[in-house]
Amino acid sequence: MTRVMIAAPSSGAGKTTVTLALMRILRREGIPFQPAKSGPDYIDPRFHEVAAGCTSVNLDAWAMPLSQIKNLSGPGNLIVEGSMGLFDGAGLAGKGSAADLANMLSLPVILVIDAAKTAHSVAAMVQGFARFDPRVTVAAVIFNRVGSPRHLQMLQAALSGSGIPVFAHLLSSENYALPERHLGLVQASENRDLDGWIDRVADALSMSLDLPALCALTGEAVKTEFIPTQPPAQHIAIARDLAFEFSYPHQLRGWQEAGASLSFFSPLADEAVPKDSGYIFLPGGYPELHAPQLAAAQKFKASMARYAATGSAIYGECGGYMVLGRGLVDAKGGRHEMLGLLPLETSFQTPKLHLGYRQLTPLSDHFTGALGAHEFHYATTLTADGPPLFAAEDADGAFLGNMGLHIGQTCGSFAHIITGP
């Protein structure tokens, strides 16, 4: 059984590149596994799915209870991509880091090292990470951006007395870079050559990979248990296209396992909300990149207005929240008419980062009980006139004020809900 985490000292080291290559190699070898991402990331799991050929899940050590993490990770082979640096978590205490997740699931860690600007000093870095937290086992290293065969020899010599093996390496190449935008990588669905790119990186990594050693790494066996979920309705309509791609697989799967049926529709294709929907969910995504198309989607707009007028439950988060508003101003200052179901105006003309975990207390009957969530966007709220949906605290429990809106049965906020009733 192979259960392992791919982590790094910091963001930008190449752990996504290495993770995708390893997943493709295991898939080629016919080794089944569950792909996963540490934390609330929406983008990397979609890349995992292309590489692995199966659904990737989020495992969030800050927001999720251990029972849910174990259920989602499953009892079999598991490849988890860490988030940020190995020990980087939320708030002042760094809670919910990739290291915390590795400890919860007893996962050995493969550390991806960006070797572009280091040689012998790499030994101090690797041994520092290996000794920093006794709960975490750094089992091996993979070097990325190695400059030459001579450079590789220096790196290997530096680690020769550490007891931490080098499993593989990738030589430095501009061909291994993926395009990025303000929230991270450009979405997998927008990358036409993604499958071929993963194959090329997998080919390069496989030339040096010690696959038997990788497959020998394992954690403790995980016992799973059924955790019931209460769906918001028996028929849930979910927007899904390039503007609305940020929905958590564990949330949708939980609704289905509880007996709800899910229907998907595309606002960008001007599709109406499916008939007989008891609940409409507009997930996050990149509506700002498709604002003119959304503004012109008359069938979508009319169907949403009809459902709102009849009192149907509608929920939008982050990008979906902005679309529920009256208008969205793009980066060039152009205003685009949105659904007008919430008294909200948002803008990207002066982007400002809003980032972090959120502890939410509902202020309406749309939700009950405490909610664990995450906020990550660059939008500015110009106006938000109406009753708030949540009272929000950050990861340290500091009060951030109220957030979101609810008008009738239509509600939304910038927070992406991870766990809660």
Interval 31-78: pLDDT, tens: 999 999 999 999 999 999 999 999 999 999 999 999 999 999 999 999
pLDDT value for 185: 61
| Homologous superfamily of the 235-419 domain (CATH) | Class I glutamine amidotransferase (GATase) domain (3.40.50.880)
Any idea which residue has 């949330």 for tokens? 251
Q: How far apart are CA 352 and CA 348, in angstroms?
A: 8
**Ranges of each domain in the chain:** 3-216, 235-419
Query: Would you tell me which CATH number, out of the four given (3.40.190.10, 3.40.50.300, 3.30.1340.10, 2.40.50.140), belongs to the domain 3-216?
Result: 3.40.50.300
Arithmetic mean of pLDDT, 262-271? 98
The two three-digit tokens of residue 98, written as one number: 């990739």
Give the C-alpha distances (Å, rounded to integers) separating 212 from 4, 51, 125, 131, 263. Answer: 13, 20, 26, 25, 43
For residue 358, the one-letter residue type is R
Residue 191 confidence (pLDDT): 72
Residue 189's pLDDT is 74
115-138 mean pLDDT: 97
Q: What is the pLDDT of residues 343-386, one digit of tens each?
A: 999 999 999 999 999 999 999 999 989 999 999 999 999 999 99
The CA–CA distances, whole Å, from 279 to 143, 231, 256, 343 equal 48, 10, 14, 20
**Whether the Cβ atoms of residue 127 and residue 162 lie closer than 8 Å to each other:** yes
Q: What is the pLDDT of residues 239-253, one digit of tens each?
A: 999 999 999 999 999
Return the residue matching tokens 């080919």. 203
Mean pLDDT, the chain, whole residue set: 95
Active site residues: 318
| Residue found under tokens 């690797």 | 126
pLDDT of residue 255: 94
Per-residue pLDDT of 175-227, as tens digits, reads: 887 766 555 667 777 777 899 999 999 999 999 999 999 999 988 778 887 77
Q: What is the pLDDT of residue 421?
A: 54
Q: What pLDDT is stored for residue 38 in this prediction? A: 98
Greater confidence (184 vs 390) lies with 390
Confidence bin at 301 (pLDDT 50/70/90): very high
Q: What is the largest distance, in Å, between two alpha-carbon atoms of the chain?
A: 71
C-alpha to C-alpha distance for 266 and 239, rounded to whole angstroms: 6
Positive or negative, the CA dihedral 330, 332, 335, 336 is negative
Sign of CA dihedral 249, 377, 232, 418: positive
